[in-house]
Amino acid sequence: MPRAHLMTPLRRFADGESVIEVEGATVGEMIVELDRLFPGLGEMLTMGSSAAVDGLIHAEPEFLAVEPDADVYFVAPLTGG
Amino acid sequence: MSENTTTRRSRTHVSCTVNGDQVDFLADDGTSLLDALRDELDLTGAKEGCGTGDCGACTVLVDGRINCSCLMFAPEAEGCDIVTVEGIAEGDHLHPLQQTFLEGAALQCGVCTPGFLVSAKALLDENPDPTETEIRYALAGNLCRCTGYDKIVRSVQEAAVQLRGAAR
Amino acid sequence: MTITEDRPAYKWVGTRPIRHDGYDKVVGKARFAADRNFPGQLHGAFLRSPHGHARILAIDTAAAEVMPGVKAVVTGADFPDLPVGNPERDTGINLMARDAALYVGHVVAAVAASTRAEAEAAAAAIEVRYELLPVVLSIDESMADGAPLANPDNRTAFSGSDDPSNLATVTPLERGDVDAAFEAADVVVEREFDTAWVHQGYIEPHACVVDVGPDGRADVWASSQGHFRVRSQTAAVLDWDTARIKVTPAEIGGGFGGKTTIYLEPVAALLSEKSGRPVKIVMTRDEVLRATGPAPASKSRIRIAATNDGELTAIDGWIGYAVGCTNDMAGFVGAMSVASYKFPNLKMEFVGALTNTPRSAAYRAPSAPQAAFAIESVIDEIAQALDMDPIELRLKNAVVEGDLTSMGGPHPRVGFVECLEAIRDSEHYRSSVPEGAARGIGTGFWFNIGEQSSATVNLNEDGTATVITGSPDIGGSRASMALMAAEELGIDVHRITPVVADTESVGFTDVTEGSRATFATGMAVVNACRELVEELKARAATILGVGADAVEWVDGAAVAADKDPLPLAGITAKAKGTGGPLTVTASLNAGGAGPSFAVHCCDVVVDDETGRVEVLRYTTAQDAGTAIHPSYVEGQMQGGTAQGIGWALNEEYVYDDDGTMLNASFLDYRVPVASDLPMIETIIVEVPNPAHPYGVRGVGETGIVPPMATIANAVSRATGVRLSSLPMSPPKVLAALDER
């Protein structure tokens, strides 16, 4: 099962958990499953968030495919100057 | 809205030389030389970066001396010989400063470039062999926010070498 | 100088041709935002709030409307009220106040008239009745118990709370056991820091011309870091269909993050709609400083633990950003920026707090310089305490591929160690420190971003090419796009015309931010060229009468066994007979932007009579991944450094108690001039980004991150005094020397 890693500010929406194994073939499917486990967490993960998968950061990763053993890091929305 | 849109403003007839051409235009008494160049003559090379003489983007030569055209009233140009960045090249031949700025990547956004070229030309016309310090002080009235000045100073140095070679 | 890992030999990538748009820019022909006039255009001017925070009770425009030349007046009542939660609600409120003025300089009304002077006179004649509200100016005031609300609209993002608050974001980060690490530490250094508001300082003020026709369609001419964002924000703020708006990009006179958002276009659009005439608005420098940008002021406390042999075992701290009058992600992004050292134990909190000052905007590596100033200063103090070389200390703790960022994800391949080694081995660092001077080291990081880009590549009949993108050329990107296309197609870079097209002539392209143009738009160009080459091979197979698989593309020509090479121009000449025009469009959402690290070294002297800090020598090493046009990579490094030196030594907003900026001119807001700086020596480090076809990382941001600590660290070694407040202006330095 892929692992969802939550940055610290997201953990209060997941009873303090930092790493959660959830089913999902895409990042979006993982978010649905995370929201089922922790209602409200899904909204926080879809509000403009980015995800780092295999060391690459992706913006709006909802439909990004993930391998069964992937580590998905949910990080802050990104901007620049 | 106002019906009174035909108010006459008093305008002054100004006659001067710009980039070698005799030109005539009308200007309000409060119009800056910069606005007259840009709006009346469509010479938009000189820019307004501040309007207070602090950034040098509007630099032009007036009778051979550098001037912030935003600080000079257009009617004051009566009878003057004015050179803007548009008048630095000779026909299709770029001035050595223009060429070394291109080759030396001395511009990034390019908005300050016209002012720098005019100031640097005035420096090299006066002092063909300036030190790095002299170049930096001569250009201290021109702000560039992109380059950190390194490539500008080097390009002026290179143009000075080329101009001295050509003069020999 | 360039230090390069093994990489393929390129013919065009890495060369330094004259940029394609350069000629227009050295002869004064290039048209920037204020350089175009539309026939029959009017001029716009604003009435701005003189108060830092005030309820707007009534606006009377009657007198203004009958003044000479006046054709239209707009106020907040003319704008739609976007629902809370709409991402551009704050953009709209910032460019035209509604119920309240939130800072001195907040626009409350606008006028269009025949001349600018008439518009200004009419704007001044508009009468506004205000009810003054308490003003919040600093992080401390904003976060105090019982503090008045700077903006009652604000809710703390990602908090789940619907209560009004002065907090924009609160971002904790935690890993390991910080308390145990500090208990076990051999050395602990703790300090507090603060930094002032600073402005991006682009030389071109914001400007636009907007013409709304009788069909309701708006023709917008403006400079920006992304004209598709100008379109989307204008549409959102006015609640218009996007298809009503066409934005043509003017040349942009500098942005540095400050032109990633809009201030003028919707106002000009409504004035144009009301008057039936094109409306031009050009900001003054005073307006630019009072009401655009700036970058957040900050305050921080940082504590770092180390062992005697220089392992940094823990960091704990708090960094607050004053974000201005609307919600902002500065604190969030600041949290992302702490990613240079392994720190097995980490506990930090990043806060964004609202103030009654202009809405802050991105400025080159936003939020990272403030954090790096604090952290790199404390690390330097640890090196001093351990009597250890500051580069060796950093090398011992620098992140490499697989190490965690502060947010949790692992770093991809990064070049921090290579940059540290480049400075360690540089002639500058190995030279002896000049008599009376001292040397400082500092480092910086920025994650960079990818996002969406489009590119169209057209091959012309004679074998020349046109490369069309939607990324404005801020510092040489046309040349970079042409270089990558030349490499792919195998033709001379000057037979390629790179074009920045309007919003109706190229596919959607995100705003240029996060050093993404050469990375992501460049990737779109490369993808389009690669698809074109496949098509060229197929056409060549037809022309040569061989199978499609028999053709290779080598150095600009189709090559098949037993046939003469068929150059690109030979294929384009027969385009009509082999299937029609040769054109490809590629679009993408680029993942895998490569983080860029920089290491800086400087020598300073401190005048102990005046307190002036003079920078004698400066060297910067930065990981570019691959430098497509090295001159413009060096330019980004040098320009970022110069801005950082200004931030370190001179630049600051000075406010009075009501929030009025007292130094709103380039005379008093003192950016570095040529005589303030030495040459800025550059070492381009090339550790290719595996996610880009040429290894590009993006180089625009990182250069501004290290200078403040680099200079503070040198000043500390020169004087024995640790400066912890920016700018290190002469009065502050003198006061610190006196306390010594």
Q: Which residues pair with C316 in a beta bridge?
A: C303, C347
- Is the separation of the CB atoms in C456 and C584 below 8 Å? yes
Distance from CA of C574 to the nearest CA of B (A): 35
Taking the Cβ of residue A65 and every Cβ of chain C, the question of whether any pair is shorter than 8 Å is answered with no
Taking the Cβ of residue B121 and every Cβ of chain C, the question of whether any pair is shorter than 8 Å is answered with no
Summarize pLDDT for B100-130 with one digit per residue, the tens.
Answer: 999 999 999 999 999 999 999 999 999 999 9
Lowest-pLDDT range, B24-33, B139-148, C177-186?
Answer: B24-33
pLDDT at residue number C571: 98
CA atoms within 13 A on the CB side of C244: 20
pLDDT at residue number B3: 52
What's CA B89's distance to the chain center, in Å? 13
Taking the Cβ of residue A44 and every Cβ of chain C, the question of whether any pair is shorter than 8 Å is answered with yes
What SS3 string covers C390-435? HHHHHHHHECCCCCECCCCCECCCCCHHHHHHHHHCCHHHHCCCCC
Which of C174, C329, C593 shows the shortest C-beta gap to A77?
Answer: C329
pLDDT at residue number B28: 87
Whether residues A80 and C449 touch (CB distance < 8 A) is answered with yes
Whether residues C635 and B108 touch (CB distance < 8 A) is answered with yes
Q: Any idea what DSSP says for residue C127?
A: E
Summarize pLDDT for C272-299 with one digit per residue, the tens.
Answer: 999 999 999 999 999 999 999 999 999 9
Which of B39, B50, B147 shows the shortest C-beta gap to C639?
Answer: B147
Q: Do chains B and C touch (3 or more CB pairs under 8 A)?
A: yes
Q: Which long-range contacts (CB under 8 A, 24 or more apart) does C97-101 make?
A: C97/C49, C97/C56, C98/C56, C99/C55, C99/C56, C100/C53, C100/C54, C100/C55, C100/C56, C100/C133, C100/C151, C101/C49, C101/C51, C101/C53, C101/C54, C101/C56, C101/C130
- Which of C118, C120, C487, C701 is an active site residue? C701
pLDDT at residue number A45: 85
How many whole angstroms separate alpha carbon C166 and alpha carbon C153? 10
Taking the Cβ of residue B39 and every Cβ of chain C, the question of whether any pair is shorter than 8 Å is answered with yes
Q: What are phi and psi of B2, to 5 degrees?
A: -60, 135
Q: Which of C218, C220, C242, C226 is nearest to C509 (CA)?
A: C226
CA distances from C376 to C370, C383, C440, C444, C706 (A): 10, 11, 11, 9, 8
CA atoms within 13 A on the CB side of B30: 6
Taking the Cβ of residue C363 and every Cβ of chain A, the question of whether any pair is shorter than 8 Å is answered with yes
What residue in C sits closest to A40 (Cα-Cα)?
C160
Q: What are phi and psi of B23, to 5 degrees?
A: -130, 155
Taking the Cβ of residue C176 and every Cβ of chain B, the question of whether any pair is shorter than 8 Å is answered with no
**CB proximity list for B64: less than 8 A, separation 6 or greater:** B81, B122, B125
Summarize pLDDT for C621-632 with one digit per residue, the tens.
Answer: 999 999 999 999
User: A3-75 is classed in which CATH architecture?
Assistant: Roll (3.10)
The total number of residues shown for chain C amounts to 740
Residue-averaged pLDDT of chain B: 94
pLDDT above 70 (res C325): yes
How many whole angstroms separate alpha carbon C479 and alpha carbon B108? 11
What SS3 string covers chain B? CCCCCCCCCCEEEEEEEECCEEEEEEEECCCEHHHHHHHHCCCCCCCCCCCCCCCCCCEEEECCEEEECCCCEHHHHCCCEEECHHHCCECCECCHHHHHHHHCCCCCCCCCHHHHHHHHHHHHHHCCCCCHHHHHHHCCCCCCCCCCCHHHHHHHHHHHHHHHHHHC
Which of A47, A56, A80 shows the shortest C-beta gap to C412?
Answer: A56
Q: What is the mean pLDDT of residues C482-510?
A: 98
Q: Do chains A and B touch (3 or more CB pairs under 8 A)?
A: no
How many whole angstroms separate alpha carbon C509 and alpha carbon C499? 14
Q: What are phi and psi of C292, to 5 degrees?
A: -130, 175
Taking the Cβ of residue C408 and every Cβ of chain A, the question of whether any pair is shorter than 8 Å is answered with yes
pLDDT at residue number A81: 77
pLDDT at residue number C517: 95
Residues from chain C contacting residue B30 (CB–CB below 8 Å): 117
Indicate the pLDDT class of residue B132, thresholds 50, 70 and 90: very high
Question: Structural domain boundaries of chain C?
Answer: 367-446+594-739, 450-590
Q: For chain B, which chains pass the contact test of at least 3 CB pairs under 8 Å? A: C
- Is the separation of the CB atoms in C419 and C694 below 8 Å? no
Q: What is the mean pLDDT of residues C253-261?
A: 97
Residues from chain C contacting residue A9 (CB–CB below 8 Å): 158, 170-173
Whether residues C26 and B113 touch (CB distance < 8 A) is answered with yes
Task: Give catalytic status of residue C701 as yes or no.
Answer: yes
Whether residues B110 and C25 touch (CB distance < 8 A) is answered with yes
Q: What is the mean pLDDT of residues B37-52?
A: 97
pLDDT at residue number C93: 98
pLDDT at residue number A59: 81
pLDDT at residue number C710: 98
Residues from chain B contacting residue C204 (CB–CB below 8 Å): 47, 49, 109, 111
pLDDT at residue number A77: 66
Indicate the pLDDT class of residue C8, thresholds 50, 70 and 90: confident
pLDDT above 70 (res C210): yes
**CB proximity list for A39: less than 8 A, separation 6 or greater:** none
Summarize pLDDT for C444-463 with one digit per residue, the tens.
Answer: 999 888 999 999 999 999 99
Distance from CA of C28 to the nearest CA of A (A): 27
pLDDT at residue number B1: 57
pLDDT at residue number A74: 86
Summarize pLDDT for C80-127 with one digit per residue, the tens.
Answer: 999 988 889 999 999 999 999 999 999 999 999 999 999 999 999 999
Whether residues C203 and B117 touch (CB distance < 8 A) is answered with no
Percent of chain C clearing pLDDT 70 (strictly above):
100
pLDDT above 70 (res C717): yes
Fold of C450-590: Aldehyde Oxidoreductase; domain 4 (3.30.365)
pLDDT at residue number B9: 65
pLDDT at residue number C5: 67
Ordered by where they begin, the domains of chain B are 11-87 (3.10.20.30), 96-167 (1.10.150.120)
pLDDT at residue number A12: 86
Lowest-pLDDT range, B32-36, C81-85, C89-93, C467-471?
Answer: C81-85
pLDDT at residue number C410: 87
Taking the Cβ of residue A16 and every Cβ of chain C, the question of whether any pair is shorter than 8 Å is answered with no
- Is the separation of the CB atoms in B160 and B130 below 8 Å? yes
Neighbours of B164 (CB within 10 A): 12
Indicate the pLDDT class of residue C319, thresholds 50, 70 and 90: very high
Taking the Cβ of residue B60 and every Cβ of chain C, the question of whether any pair is shorter than 8 Å is answered with no
How many whole angstroms separate alpha carbon C140 and alpha carbon C81? 32
Residues B122, B124, B126, B130: is their CA dihedral positive or negative?
positive
Taking the Cβ of residue C146 and every Cβ of chain A, the question of whether any pair is shorter than 8 Å is answered with no
pLDDT at residue number C694: 97
pLDDT at residue number C135: 97
Summarize pLDDT for A25-54 with one digit per residue, the tens.
Answer: 999 999 999 999 999 888 888 766 788 887
Q: Tell me the pairing of strands C345-354 and C312-324.
A: parallel
Q: Any idea what DSSP says for residue C82?
A: P
Burial C570-581 (b: 16+ CB within 10 A, else e): bbbeebeebeee
Q: Do domains C367-446+594-739 and C450-590 have the same CATH topology?
A: yes
Residue-averaged pLDDT of chain C: 96
User: Class for domain C367-446+594-739, per CATH?
Assistant: alpha beta
pLDDT above 80 (res C721): yes
pLDDT above 60 (res B7): no
Please report the DSSP string for C138-198 in residue order. SHHHHHSTTPPPS-TT-B-TTS---SB-SEEEEEEEEES-HHHHHHH-SEEEEEEEEE--B
Summarize pLDDT for C520-545 with one digit per residue, the tens.
Answer: 999 999 999 999 999 999 999 999 99
pLDDT at residue number A43: 85
Percent of chain C clearing pLDDT 90 (strictly above):
94
Whether residues C513 and A60 touch (CB distance < 8 A) is answered with no
Q: Which residues pair with C306 in a beta bridge?
A: C187, C312
pLDDT above 90 (res A61): no
Summarize pLDDT for A7-20 with one digit per residue, the tens.
Answer: 888 888 899 998 99
Which of C32, C284, C476 shows the shortest C-beta gap to B51?
Answer: C284
Interface test with A, best of C316, C336, C519 (most A CBs within 10 A): C336
